[in-house]
Amino acid sequence: MSDDVAAEADDSGETASPEVEIEVERLYGAPVTEAFGQRALFPSLDTYLELCAELASQGFGQVVDLCVVDYLQYDRTDLPATVAPERFEVVVNLISHTRRERIRVRLQVADGVEVPSLFDIYPGTEAMEREAFDMFGVVFSDHPDMSRVLMPEEWVGYPLRKDYEIGRIPVQFKGAPSQR
């Protein structure tokens, strides 16, 4: 057993799983965890924009992905002790090409709470935030066009929410006889 693996072994002789997130410290004022060699920051709603602006100034110049996770019936064990779990989590993956490093921002969001838009800092998030709104109903304040991007404007509901009924629209194949 190597020294690194032996150092991670507990009294039972089993090694710690690499997927387990370990709280490291605070970075830019936000609690930090690390998993699979990537840091995750957990800002509050009040410090979210400030944190993302600071990361942009530190060379994290591109948002690779912005998405939402619905934790409706999921027990959260991967958050730092100081972070209160909410139903939704906005996840922003940033990359710094000069540092050759990625960092993840994980924002806890309650249902019905508006999240500040990153559009002024990262213009490439415009479509990502619209998709998050369209599929989950998370509204991004100060967004230039907070309208649906995938579903028709008259659509009611948010299809990727865990409490959204499935199978409400019958699939109609071209040339198939219609069901009456």
Structure tokens at 117: 């838009």
Dist. CA 129–CA 117, nearest whole Å: 8
Would 7 be classed as within a structural domain? no
pTM to 2 decimal places: 0.79
pLDDT digits 0-9 by tens, 117-152: 999 999 999 999 999 999 999 999 999 999 999 999
173 in any annotated domain: no
Confidence of residue 172 (pLDDT cuts 50, 70, 90): low
In-domain check, residue 31? yes
- Would the pLDDT of 5 be above 70? no
The pLDDT confidence band at residue 36, using thresholds 50, 70 and 90, is confident
Residue 97 belongs to some domain of the structure: yes
150 is a domain residue: no
CATH label of the domain that carries residue 77:
3.30.460.80
**Residue 12: inside a domain:** no
Give the pLDDT confidence of 40-80 residue by residue, as tens digits. Answer: 999 999 999 999 999 999 999 999 999 999 999 898 888 99
Query: Residue 1: its pLDDT value, please?
Result: 39
Burial (CB < 10 A; 0-12, 13-18, 19+), residue 110, is exposed
Number of domains in the chain: 1
Range of the domain at 31: 18-141
Evaluate whether residue 37 is within a structural domain: yes
Q: 2, 39, 3: which is closest to 21 by C-alpha?
A: 39
Q: Provide the pLDDT for residue 148.
A: 95
Does some domain include residue 156? no
SS3 123: helix
* Res 15: pLDDT: 47
Q: What is the DSSP letter of 141?
A: E
Confidence band, pLDDT 50/70/90 cuts, at residue 25: confident
Mean pLDDT of the chain: 85
